Amino acid sequence: MKRLSLLLFVVMSAAMISAQLYLNPQAPIEDRVEDALARMTRQEKVAILHAQSKFSSPGVARLGIRGLWMTDGPHGIRPEVMWDEWNQAGWTNDSCTAFPALTGLAATWNTDLAFLYGKMLGEEALYRGKDVVLGPGVNIYRTPLNGRNFEYMGEDPYLASQMVVPYVQGLQGNGVAACVKHYALNNQEVNRHGYNVNVSDRALYEIYLPAYKAAVQQGGAWSIMGSYNLYKGEHACHNKYLLRDILRDEWGFDGAVVSDWGGAHNTDEAVANGLDLEFGTWTNGTTSNNKEYDNYFLADPFLAGLQEGKYTDEQLNEKARNVLRLIFRTSMNSQKGFGSMVSAEHRLAARRIAAESIVLLKNEGALLPLSTSAKVLVVGENAIKMMTVGGGSSQLKVKYEVSPLQGIEDKIANANKILPDNKGGVKYERGYTSGPNIIQDAIDFGEKLDETRSEQQLLSDAVTAAKEADVVVFIGGLNKKPHQDCEDSDRESYGLPYGQDQLIEALAAANKNIVVVNVSGNAVAMPWLRKVPAVVQAWYNGSESGNALADVLFGDVNPSGRLPFTFMQRLEDYPAHQYGAEGYPGVDNQVYYKDDIFVGYRYADKEKKVTPLFPFGHGLSYTTFEYGKPQLSAKNMPANGSVTLRVDVTNTGLRVGREVVQLYIADKKSSLPRPVKELKAFQKIQLQPGETKTVEFVITNSMLQFFDPDKHAWVAEPGEFDAIVGASAGDIRGKQTFRL
Ligand code: BGC
């Protein structure tokens, strides 16, 4: 009897476990997905395909299947918003660490830091109970007017690919999904819901898609966000070419496609063309007992079509599978931890990444680094303005943000404390004003930036103070207000706003020891460049921006950031602006990418009349590096083999420093036009004074290929190639020729 009941117990438990395979964390995900799917009704399957609030989608309560919580993204965890509104909910425990915006991350050219970034961000997401981070963004920098460039990783598909993969891996290691956005061709904000991109297959595959492909195939991204714009006349959120043909069929994506908020437009296309999860379809959600969500394209209209036989259960199951897979990877991932917010580790990571992102553009007469015993005058609104505020959906509510002025004051105060004879000092003058603060989504830190002085008075007060100072540090740039690096609007001109050019000229005339710090996510015109000895590019660097900037200005950190995009002299020098309104921002909802594959340095290399202010990959150091002659392991490369290029790099200065050694490849003769050279590898190395390291690059066939639109394939044509070693796209240190 006893034995029988034991047997019964064993059989019953086994039956229960197998009965609830989808709940068994040990079971393979695909088995869990199939098991869950088999238990769900049609209604339940449809329900998990669309939002139930601004940022959440439901699970299946009856079966204990959890829903999903999304959050922006991409450089910090967005504050909690109301169930049905964009405005914040007013929680008191949702203040985050702001990490540097992604142009800053890209400017580190440090893949280890990209991993660290993703890992830290994921921990904050976990703590806040979020399953999917809406980011990173990898839209290519086509025009410096794009209001969202600061959320992306620059102009080069290879650099963006290298940086996005570790970000995704670091993040997803927490059991939090990346949602790589905005797929694809969302390279401007003007008319973002309405423009249709006309682009060659070559430019699509060579320039605009590689970073997404890398995120999917190498990073293993669990979700991807469709963009607002159209391509081939179909909205990107339900676009057969982008989602079915390329993402699923060519790249083998097994994650979920999420719409951008309000990016879905009709049920037929959404059902047929690969959208899995619909969010933000315009509704206030509250006027009819939340029934608005039932009206989403992938809600009742889909269900009705299924009942009528217009859509198939196969179509439904495919989507439900993709969403269930995302659920089991994230919200029902039993391996994940609890996360943490604003930990010491997060602060340190934010500071390190920010400091390593800062690019020293110019440093004549070694004005930098500054001495902490100097009398420093800081001028400019960006020295005091919170830069985590504004910019659109990536705006954050931070636990703290160290402003540049604060960072500089702390640095000098600390030195004065430690060294009693140190007599450094800091004064501040506003110099210009951008007008009253704009409050977005009810995030108001009570920051008082009101100014009563006239423009003229501000300028003359700053100039008077400049005459008294040992050194002037001007901190200006753009500021995340609409048209100044902000979602849903592009910049209206390439120049600095608010009279900053005149102010810089006047300050430079008053004091020749002037450092200009440009805070922005975009290149800007610098008509005063020759009159200013030192220029620094800082980004929207988050919570630690002021400390990081001070670390670089005073030499505690030797700058090693490199530009992730080309700084042209004039707007007209950007290829997107060569073709009138058709090229940008479009005519009758059509934008033509006539610049084709010649984006950024690819254009500057080709057009001899265009000389960038600062080339792609440029960045100085407080030390100097010398390159030896590159050596190749062989002069001939077999079709499926490789050659190795070695180059010695020596630190010839007096400080430890980091150099980014860049490898470009040039195809000497090709059946289709090719860029003069293209970045195919890079290594960031640290060298002690006097130290030499040998950098090794293995060159393989795939690094020689271009996309042949007729064959719809990547091909490398036999012939001669140059392997070019540079410190930037404009600073070539050596080359070697080999033959494929
Ligand atoms: C933006 C996305 C963002 C979403 C949710 C959209 O307007 O384009 O980048 O993730 O809103 O806030």
Give a yes or no: residue 6 inside a domain.
no
Instruction: Pick the atom of ligand 1 nearest to 228's CA.
Output: 8
Q: Give residue 260 CA to ligand 1 midpoint distance, Å.
A: 6
Cα–Cα distance measured from residue 475 to residue 519, given in angstroms and rounded to the nearest whole number:
7
The protein residue whose alpha carbon is closest to atom 7 in ligand 1 is 261
The protein residue whose alpha carbon is closest to atom 5 in ligand 1 is 261
The protein residue whose alpha carbon is closest to atom 8 in ligand 1 is 260
pTM, rounded to two decimals: 0.96
* Cα distances (angstroms) measured from residue 388 to each of 145, 486, 709: 20, 12, 42
Output the CA angle 369-373-377, nearest 5 degrees. Answer: 75
Do residue 576 and residue 669 come from a single domain? no
Do residue 734 and residue 597 come from a single domain? no
Instruction: Pick the atom of ligand 1 nearest to 55's CA.
Output: 5
Instruction: Pick the atom of ligand 1 nearest to 137's CA.
Output: 9
Which residues line the pocket of ligand 1, CB cutoff 6 A?
72-73, 134, 181, 260-261, 393
The pLDDT, as a whole number, for residue 730 is 98
**Weakly modelled stretches of the chain, pLDDT under 50:** 1, 9-17
Give a yes or no: residue 71 inside a domain.
yes
CATH of the domain at 285: 3.20.20.300
> Tokens 């004003």 sit at which residue?
433
Q: Give residue 227 CA to ligand 1 midpoint distance, Å.
A: 9
Structure tokens at 424: 């450094």
Mutational pocket test of ligand 1: of 180, 281, 393, the residue with most ligand atoms within 8 Å of the beta carbon: 393
Cα–Cα distance measured from residue 185 to residue 164, given in angstroms and rounded to the nearest whole number:
17
Give 220-270 as a DSSP string: --SEEEE-SSEETTEEGGG-IIIIIIIIIIIT---SEEE--TT----HHHH
Q: Give residue 390 CA to ligand 1 midpoint distance, Å.
A: 14
Do residue 249 and residue 295 come from a single domain? yes
Helix residue ranges, H only, 330-427: 344-357, 404-418
Long-range contacts, 575-580 (Cβ 8 Å, 24+): 575/599, 575/600, 575/603, 576/142, 576/143, 576/187, 577/143
Give a yes or no: residue 339 inside a domain.
no
Cα–Cα distance measured from residue 576 to residue 566, given in angstroms and rounded to the nearest whole number:
13
The protein residue whose alpha carbon is closest to atom 3 in ligand 1 is 393
The protein residue whose alpha carbon is closest to atom 6 in ligand 1 is 261
The protein residue whose alpha carbon is closest to atom 11 in ligand 1 is 261
Residue 112: count other Cβ atoms within 10 Å of its Cβ: 11
Do residue 707 and residue 611 come from a single domain? no
Answer for the pair 432, 496: CB distance below 8 angstroms, yes or no. no
Do residue 221 and residue 300 come from a single domain? yes
Which among 362, 356, 369, 367 is positioned nearest to 555, based on CA atoms? 369
Do residue 618 and residue 606 come from a single domain? yes
Cα–Cα distance measured from residue 723 to residue 664, given in angstroms and rounded to the nearest whole number:
6
The protein residue whose alpha carbon is closest to atom 4 in ligand 1 is 261
Give a yes or no: residue 19 inside a domain.
no
Output the CA angle 337-217-345, nearest 5 degrees. Answer: 35
Query: Hey, which residues are catalytic here?
Result: 260
Cα–Cα distance measured from residue 178 to residue 251, given in angstroms and rounded to the nearest whole number:
17
The protein residue whose alpha carbon is closest to atom 2 in ligand 1 is 260
Do residue 598 and residue 628 come from a single domain? no
Cα–Cα distance measured from residue 577 to residue 610, given in angstroms and rounded to the nearest whole number:
13
Q: Give residue 187 CA to ligand 1 midpoint distance, Å.
A: 15
- The per-residue pLDDT for range 53-68, each reduced to its tens digit, is 999 999 999 999 999 9
Q: Give residue 647 CA to ligand 1 midpoint distance, Å.
A: 44
Give a yes or no: residue 27 inside a domain.
no
The contacts of residue 585 (CB under 8 Å, 6+ apart) are 188, 190, 191, 195, 490, 591
Do residue 206 and residue 289 come from a single domain? yes
**Where in the sequence is the domain holding 727, given as residue range(s)?**
623-739
Residue 41: count other Cβ atoms within 10 Å of its Cβ: 10
- The per-residue pLDDT for range 151-192, each reduced to its tens digit, is 999 999 999 999 999 999 999 999 999 999 999 999 999 999
Tell me whether residue 11 is exposed, middle or buried, using C-beta atoms within 10 angstroms of its C-beta: 0 to 12, 13 to 18, 19 or more.
exposed
Q: Give residue 259 CA to ligand 1 midpoint distance, Å.
A: 9
**DSSP secondary-structure letter at 702?**
G
Instruction: Pick the atom of ligand 1 nearest to 179's CA.
Output: 10
Cα–Cα distance measured from residue 352 to residue 123, given in angstroms and rounded to the nearest whole number:
17
Give a yes or no: residue 507 inside a domain.
yes
Query: How many domains does the structure of the chain reveal?
Result: 4
Which contiguous run of DSSP H or E holds residue 307?
helix 300-308
Give a yes or no: residue 335 inside a domain.
no
Terminal alpha carbon distance of the chain = 79
Give a yes or no: residue 193 inside a domain.
yes
CATH of the domain at 506: 3.40.50.1700
What are phi and psi for residue 43, nearest 5 degrees? -60, -45
Do residue 258 and residue 312 come from a single domain? yes
Q: Give residue 322 CA to ligand 1 midpoint distance, Å.
A: 21
The pLDDT, as a whole number, for residue 1 is 47
- The per-residue pLDDT for range 673-732, each reduced to its tens digit, is 999 999 999 999 999 999 999 999 999 999 999 999 999 999 999 999 999 999 999 999
Structure tokens at 62: 């009856």
Strand 514-519 relative to strand 534-538, pairing:
parallel
**Residue where one domain finishes, among candidates 565, 591, 614:** 565
Cα–Cα distance measured from residue 721 to residue 355, given in angstroms and rounded to the nearest whole number:
37
Mutational pocket test of ligand 1: of 134, 441, 486, the residue with most ligand atoms within 8 Å of the beta carbon: 134
Q: Give residue 650 CA to ligand 1 midpoint distance, Å.
A: 45
Cα–Cα distance measured from residue 263 to residue 182, given in angstroms and rounded to the nearest whole number:
11
Mutational pocket test of ligand 1: of 70, 72, 75, 278, the residue with most ligand atoms within 8 Å of the beta carbon: 72
The pLDDT, as a whole number, for residue 660 is 98
Do residue 617 and residue 659 come from a single domain? no
Do residue 184 and residue 213 come from a single domain? yes
Answer for the pair 355, 348: CB distance below 8 angstroms, yes or no. no
Instruction: Pick the atom of ligand 1 nearest to 181's CA.
Output: 9
Mutational pocket test of ligand 1: of 133, 260, 489, the residue with most ligand atoms within 8 Å of the beta carbon: 260
Do residue 524 and residue 652 come from a single domain? no
Instruction: Pick the atom of ligand 1 nearest to 182's CA.
Output: 9
Q: Give residue 669 CA to ligand 1 midpoint distance, Å.
A: 43
The pLDDT, as a whole number, for residue 284 is 58
**Residue where one domain finishes, among candidates 524, 542, 565:** 565
Instruction: Pick the atom of ligand 1 nearest to 192's CA.
Output: 8
The protein residue whose alpha carbon is closest to atom 9 in ligand 1 is 393
Mutational pocket test of ligand 1: of 188, 261, 396, the residue with most ligand atoms within 8 Å of the beta carbon: 261
Q: Give residue 198 CA to ligand 1 midpoint distance, Å.
A: 24
